[in-house]
Amino acid sequence: MHRFSAKALLACVLAASTSLATGTASAAADTASALPATVKNGTIGFVITHRYWAVHQSPEGKVECPNGYNDGPREQFKQQFPEDGAKRTLMDTQLMREGRQWHPTTAEEPFTFKDAGGKVSYGMNLDGKVKDSDFTSPDGAKGIDNQLYRAIGCISNYRAPEGTIYHFENEFMRRYNNNRFLIELSGVDSLVNDADVTVKSYRGLDNLLTDATGASFIPGGTQRIDNRFGKFVQSTWKGKIVDGVLITEAADVTIPASATFDASAFHVLKGARFQLKLTGERAEGVIAGYTPVDAFIHHLNTSWSTHHQSYGQLSSPSLYRAMHRLADGYPDDKGQMTAISSAMSVQMVQVYVDHPPQTVAEMNGAAPAPVQPSRE
Amino acid sequence: MSLKSTVSIAAVAVVACAAATGAFAQDRYKPPVAELEDYVRDAMPPGISVQHSDVDGPVFVDSRGHTLYTWPLDRLRNGDAGEQKGKPTCDDTKYTENSGLMSPYPPGLILPDLDTRPTCIQVWPALLAPEGAKEVGKWTVVEGPKGRKQWAYDGFAVYTSVLDTKPGTVNGATRREQRGDAPALRKPIGPTPNHPPAFAVKTVATGRLLTNHVGFSIYTWDGDQANKSNCDAKCLKDWAPVQAPQTAQAQGEWGVIERSPGVKQWTYRTHPVYTRVQDRRFRSLEGGDMPGWHNVYTQKNPEPPKEFTVQDSRIGQVLADKNGMTVYVYQCGDDALDQLACDHPSNTQAYRLAICGNGDPALCNRTFAYVPAPANVKINNLIWGTSWINPTTGHAAKPNEPGALHVWTFRDRPIYTHGGDHKPGDANGDAWGEFNGYRNGWKAFWLRDDFLSNAG
């Protein structure tokens, strides 16, 4: 059970200011309100092309990470098992550490974890309050809730541009179509100001459309919706467009986010909301919400092996402890917070959303009929 | 030639072959499926023959009917493991430390359960070549450790597995395909599938799938007749006949029809064959969703026991237990130079217990629970089975031993459900373990993956 009411959340969201550097909203407000050609029958779709856990960085991290970045598995292993000539067993070393990777606890560990400090962060004011633990956005909005930034801000893997997870999560998101996440806005009368729009999320089935270089994503592509295996991605939000910025209420969402090696992982955001600057061709901004700690760690471990986590000095068990310590939402029966405020910075390009028939019978123009799963 | 007669001829050929080897003719295993895969009858050394298996297609077997394997060199994180052509290394060395071939852990760590750890050659007995053995085709004789002469196939030394105890089992294999950071695996070897060069056969989760030579799935249509295509102009917008060259000749299960003057089309088992215009990925099963259209298998897998179900999950189509909960397989290979498997109840359980329970068997059994099997269950194939397991040790138990569990097995290894799955369609145990579950962990029992390669 969330501790905030939906009404309070909506009030909070609508009052919240855009906290990512997405340009000024007033520029959009000055433009003509005529609908772009990409809005068809009051609908427009966007597909994600860039998605990062929002980490505000100062030069070389000196502001937020004055004591440097965190250690990862290799460094912790050397600290725990120094090269002193002692013979050690696989059970007491590798398997012990791997066991804790998959069954982490909040018990104290012999390693120091470095939270990100500072007062500036991307994100949104999720709870409508301004607290001591909150951040201020780069453009001055108060009450920014992004405790995940405190947890991951000083882990190299999440920092731009060299962080392995920072880079490769996006590389694989673009490469593998099972990661295709798109939204469709309906009821759109204006992309500048519209008091009532509906936003639905889907998994798409198709490649992203790129320019001739293959490196830039261009609008105008088509995405077929995955209505069979992709239903877990489908959520619905009510929202408004204010001065060219889409702001939604909160709803839970699951975002497919597999890495490579045929993994099948996903991100979960509870009470997620969008804050996106819109044009007829692109959307850019933030998806913010509360990430269940266990789901975050599950995604991390099933996507990135200890070897890969080592690339960016990321210790999953240490991060688990830090996330539980910093968690600030969705208390369990004992009052222990289970989720942590977070934000993803995202960029999207416009796509035409193709809603295919949901059954084979529909494809043939017949009445919908149940389709038995194939045992082939 | 009718399908029935083709199968009969193939069966006769197998029996004749077995008789020629003078070996285990009466013990030959026939998978309980409608059609068996045909293969090219290349010459083999005396004592070696071909045996159909449940999911791996036709495999070479020794005079006892035991499946033959090779161990091709494979690139791991920090070096190579396996064997080069002509250079067998599997010997009686008892490795006591890890090799450091996998990252991020250093070499020199003492391996678990050393008192029971076997040597490579104990687990993988070499297929010895008799004095004066004559090389034939791809079969050659190579010299292994301590001067032993053993058979090699395509240059790679050949072994049997101690896990195979009767004709038709392929228990030395653990996965359908090597991927990611899996160990350097031993692989069953078999004859070349008998098909025209325009086609290929690939082992996938549901059988031996027929594709074109590029990798796109082959389909047949119920609207066709035997050796006659009824796919008209409208149909041809979605389905592309696999054209045969003008010089193509019918052979075995393969035929050629002239679908229009001067345009020839391949048939398989009398069915005209097609690819699907909209297929975007290799080995797709999506065309089989279209009414009347079917993927084509040279040999399908035996059906899972009736206690199991098939579920659409968020990751694809998976095998599930009777309650719809996704089923998982465990796979494990250690990091010693001989890359011994650790995924069988006869192996050390230290790796499995670490990942599923942080060393605690009770937690382990909650995280990945064995799938209980009913008593006196009847199974008509060799890939599925049941076993008695001591849930505390993870090793085999005697039947009805106090505390022992009677569990389902696939390829002689227990299968599992995951404690983190709460409803049908969940698949949260997939990729759970070291290196996304490939090195020491669990993968879902995928049946269909519309995006990646988890189902083959």
- For B198-228, the pLDDT digits (tens) are 999 999 999 999 999 999 999 999 999 999 9
pLDDT of residue B18: 38
Give the ipTM. Answer: 0.92
CA A233 vs CA A202, A260, A348, A352: distances in Å = 5, 19, 17, 18
Q: State which residue of chain A sits closest to B114, comparing Cα positions.
A: A89
Q: DSSP letter string over A7-25?
A: HHHHHHHHHPPP-S----H
- Set of chain A residues whose Cβ sits within 8 Å of the Cβ of B439: 305
Bridge partners of residue A255, in order along the sequence: A267
Q: Which residue has the higher pLDDT, A37 or B5?
A: A37
What pLDDT is attached to residue B24? Answer: 73
Work out the percent of chain B whose per-residue pLDDT is above 70.
93
Q: Among partner residues A95, A262, A364, which is closest to B291 by beta-carbon distance? A: A364
CB-based contact A301 B432, cutoff 8 Å: yes
Q: How do the pLDDT tens digits run along chain A, 376 residues long?
A: 343 333 333 333 334 433 443 333 333 333 445 899 999 999 999 999 999 999 999 999 999 999 999 999 999 999 999 999 999 999 999 999 999 999 999 999 999 999 999 999 999 999 999 999 999 999 999 999 999 999 999 999 999 999 999 999 999 999 999 999 999 999 999 999 999 999 999 999 999 999 999 889 999 999 999 999 999 999 999 999 999 999 999 999 999 999 988 889 999 999 999 999 999 999 999 999 999 999 999 999 999 999 999 999 999 999 999 999 999 999 999 999 999 999 999 999 999 999 986 544 445 544 433 333 333 2
Domain residue spans in chain A?
6-363
CA quadruple B324, B454, A100, B396: dihedral positive or negative?
positive
pLDDT at B3: 35
The span from the CA of B98 to the CA of B204, in Å, is 32
Report the alpha-carbon distance of residue B346 to residue B102 in Å, rounded: 24
Q: How many residues does chain A have?
A: 376
How much of chain B exceeds pLDDT 90, in percent? 91
A370 chain-B contacts, CB cut-off 8 A = none
CA A304 to chain B, closest CA, distance in angstroms equals 7
Q: Chain B contact for A91, CB < 8 A?
A: yes
- Bridge partner residues of A131 (DSSP): none
> Measured on CA atoms in the order B342, B316, A317, B75, is the torsion positive or negative?
positive
**The pLDDT of residue A16:** 40
pLDDT of residue B179: 67
pLDDT at position A370: 34
Question: What whole-number distance in Å separates Cα of residue B329 and Cα of residue B291?
Answer: 32
Q: Which residues contact B43 (CB under 8 A, 6 or more apart)?
A: B136, B137
The nearest CA of chain B is from the CA of A311 a distance in Å of: 9
Q: Which residues pair with B140 in a beta bridge?
A: B152
CB contacts, 8 Å: B420 with chain A = 298
Q: Is A370 on the interface with B (CB under 8 A)?
A: no
Regarding predicted confidence, which is higher, B278 or A11?
B278
Give the tens place of pLDDT for each residue, B9-39: 333 333 333 334 445 766 899 999 999 999 9
pLDDT at B317 over 60: yes
Q: What are B113-127's pLDDT values in tens digits?
A: 999 999 999 999 999
* A87 contacts B181? CB cut-off 8 A: no
Burial class (CB in 10 A: 0-12, 13-18, 19+), B215: middle
pLDDT value of position B27: 82
Q: What is the pLDDT of residue A261?
A: 87
Domain ranges of chain B: 1-192, 218-295, 309-448
Residues A70, A66: Cα–Cα separation, whole Å = 11
pLDDT at A374: 33
With CA atoms as reference, report the closest residue to B415 among B342, B316, B336, B343. Answer: B343
pLDDT at B176: 54
Q: Tell me what the pLDDT averaged over chain B comes to.
A: 93
